[in-house]
Amino acid sequence: MACATNAISLSLSSNPNSKLSSDFIPKLNKPVNVSLRASTSAELNPGRLFLSRPIGLSRRNCANATPVMDQSVGERSSSVPTIVEVDLGNRSYPIYIGSGLLDQHELLQKHVHGKKVLVVTNTTIAPLYLDKVVDALTKGNPNVSVENVILPDGEKYKNMETLMKVFDKAIESRLDRRCTFVALGGGVIGDMCGFAAAAFLRGVNFIQIPTTVMAQVDSSVGGKTGINHPLGKNLIGAFYQPQCVLIDTDTLNTLPNRELASGLAEVIKYGLIRDAEFFEWQEKNMEKLMARDPDAFAYAIKRSCENKAEVVSLDEKESGLRATLNLGHTFGHAIETGFGYGEWLHGEAVAAGTVMAVDMSYRLGWIDSSIVKRVTDILQRAKLPTAPPKTMTVEMFKSVMAVDKKVADGLLRLILLKGPLGNCVFTGEYDRKALDDTLSAFCKS
């Protein structure tokens, strides 16, 4: 495990030639003045940003972590969970991480305010965890009654028709504005349940209980909810934050290898866009992750959540910084849409998309070849794709990318790497030829 005593440091792209200093000194810097305005023309070079917190922890626990984090993460115990806070003022919420958390019913019950709960889950997860969750919600709590709706499993069901089933069930069960929705599943369930909660009666509380790596390291945190449209991913939805996120790492025991790897694509992403140290740790520990070492995994989840929480609290509605979390996603979403929702898992598409973004960055002369190699290597070790499916054409990429949410007034903006590992930019100002060359290089036609 990477040393947890790394101090907070600030590396910005104003020093493109400086290496990351290897002696880290803990200090409380003043908050960095980051421009969060959506400037399409200017580059946004967040590098590795942090936010000073008066709590004064010396490690890189930038998002209001409580002292309980001194406990070694990942011990298989039902003791105090690790907590990463997502700081959004009076809408702040905790991410609980630990083994056996579904047995700690007070954790969940603390965030349920009304008398009725609707658990939204799918056909794969329901037989595994639904009873446990219902138990956690109702144990010693006779006032709460729990309904559930079980949706079909998979990206291709992340649509309006499936979403209506959630509304139907909620209304038939006479849930009112005091109710709580609970998303129990992976990213598809979390996104759909979140959007249903945002729209039901114009907004009710909800809780995220992610059961995949993808959801635990990324999609359950931050409030992006929604469904797909046939013409593009996540084109309909809402920014809507949960009351809390409960990550019981035991749920990964039943996760298939393919899904596990898919989630690792997002873990790798954080390293590339803002956390070189984390990337280096991943390079050292990828075999452990693939072997599902509990400590390694718990650490990967925690560090991912810290990165995510920090970005979200700085730029909740994506006027700038938050877009960097979309590295590989413009190409990746095009793959998912073009190849067919559910054919490739989201993380697999993101992995291929990351390779394409890296290739383009290299063509632009913004990164050197060592980074290209390190990215390809780590993805291969994670058994993730390093190229799109063979049936993808340049035209398919272009037409889907045209409706990507990062397009502004017709200008396609991308997240590209620039500088030393751990630095990226979000920009519409790049040589279009590089994009064309990358697309041609990766597509047969």
Would you please indicate which residues are annotated as catalytic (active-site) residues?
Answer: 202, 224, 266, 308, 318, 322, 326, 329, 333, 346
The strands making up 145-151's β-sheet, listed across from edge to edge, are 82-86, 93-98, 245-248, 205-210, 180-185, 116-122, 145-151
- Determine the interface stretch with a second copy among 174-182, 250-258, 341-349, 430-438 (rule: CB under 8 A): 174-182
- Give the total residue count for the chain: 445
Q: Where are the beta strands (DSSP E) in 258-307?
A: none
What does the alpha-carbon distance between residue 214 and residue 375 come to, in Å, rounded to a whole number?
19
- Asked if residue 409 binds a second copy (CB under 8 A), the reply is yes
- Asked if residue 194 binds a second copy (CB under 8 A), the reply is no
User: DSSP H helical segments within 54-151, as ranges?
Assistant: 105-109, 131-138
3-state secondary structure (DSSP) of residue 117: strand
Instruction: Provide the minimum distance between the beta carbon of 264 and a second copy in the complex, in angstroms, as a whole number.
Output: 26
Tell me which of 20, 407, 436, 437 binds a second copy, using CB under 8 A.
Answer: 407
- Asked if residue 129 binds a second copy (CB under 8 A), the reply is no
What does the alpha-carbon distance between residue 183 and residue 392 come to, in Å, rounded to a whole number?
33
Tell me which of 27, 91, 110, 317 binds a second copy, using CB under 8 A.
Answer: 317
Indicate the residue among 12 and 235 with the shorter CB distance to a second copy: 235
User: Among candidates 20, 59, 14, which has minimal Cα distance to 33?
Assistant: 14
User: Among candidates 309, 330, 198, which has minimal Cα distance to 247?
Assistant: 309
Indicate the residue among 69 and 197 with the shorter CB distance to a second copy: 197
Q: Which residues does 365 contact at the CB level (< 8 Å), separation at least 6?
A: none
Indicate the residue among 163 and 364 with the shorter CB distance to a second copy: 163
Is residue 208 within 8 Å of 246, Cβ to Cβ? Answer: yes
- Asked if residue 34 binds a second copy (CB under 8 A), the reply is no
Indicate the residue among 17 and 143 with the shorter CB distance to a second copy: 143
- Asked if residue 414 binds a second copy (CB under 8 A), the reply is no
Q: φ and ψ at 32, to 5 degrees?
A: -75, 140
Is residue 93 within 8 Å of 244, Cβ to Cβ? Answer: yes
What does the alpha-carbon distance between residue 235 and residue 199 come to, in Å, rounded to a whole number?
15
- Asked if residue 235 binds a second copy (CB under 8 A), the reply is yes
Structure tokens, 89: 């003022």
- Asked if residue 42 binds a second copy (CB under 8 A), the reply is no
Sequence letter at residue 139? K
Q: How many residues bind a second copy (CB under 8 A)?
A: 40
- Determine the interface stretch with a second copy among 95-103, 159-167, 247-255, 337-345 (rule: CB under 8 A): 159-167
Q: φ and ψ at 138, to 5 degrees?
A: -110, -10
- Asked if residue 334 binds a second copy (CB under 8 A), the reply is no
- Asked if residue 91 binds a second copy (CB under 8 A), the reply is no
Q: Which residue has the tokens 């449209």?
A: 229
- Asked if residue 226 binds a second copy (CB under 8 A), the reply is yes
Angle at 45 between CA 353 and CA 38, to 5 degrees: 90
Instruction: Provide the minimum distance between the beta carbon of 117 and a second copy in the complex, in angstroms, as a whole number.
Output: 12
- Asked if residue 177 binds a second copy (CB under 8 A), the reply is yes
Which residues ranging from 245 to 274 are in contact with a second copy (CB under 8 A)? none
Indicate the residue among 383 and 398 with the shorter CB distance to a second copy: 398
Tell me which of 81, 190, 210, 232 binds a second copy, using CB under 8 A.
Answer: 232
Residue 156's region, left for phi above 0, alpha for psi from -120 to 50, else beta, is alpha
Indicate the residue among 139 and 229 with the shorter CB distance to a second copy: 229
Tell me which of 27, 76, 91, 178 binds a second copy, using CB under 8 A.
Answer: 178
Instruction: Provide the minimum distance between the beta carbon of 407 and a second copy in the complex, in angstroms, as a whole number.
Output: 4
Instruction: Provide the minimum distance between the beta carbon of 169 and a second copy in the complex, in angstroms, as a whole number.
Output: 11
What does the alpha-carbon distance between residue 182 and residue 185 come to, in Å, rounded to a whole number?
10
Tell me which of 55, 291, 408, 441 binds a second copy, using CB under 8 A.
Answer: 408
Tell me which of 402, 429, 431, 440 binds a second copy, using CB under 8 A.
Answer: 402
Q: φ and ψ at 44, to 5 degrees?
A: -120, 115
- Asked if residue 203 binds a second copy (CB under 8 A), the reply is yes
- Asked if residue 200 binds a second copy (CB under 8 A), the reply is yes
Can you give the binding site for a second copy, defined by CB under 8 A? 114-116, 160, 164, 167-168, 171-172, 174, 176-178, 195, 198-203, 224-226, 229, 231-232, 234-239, 317, 402-403, 405, 407-410
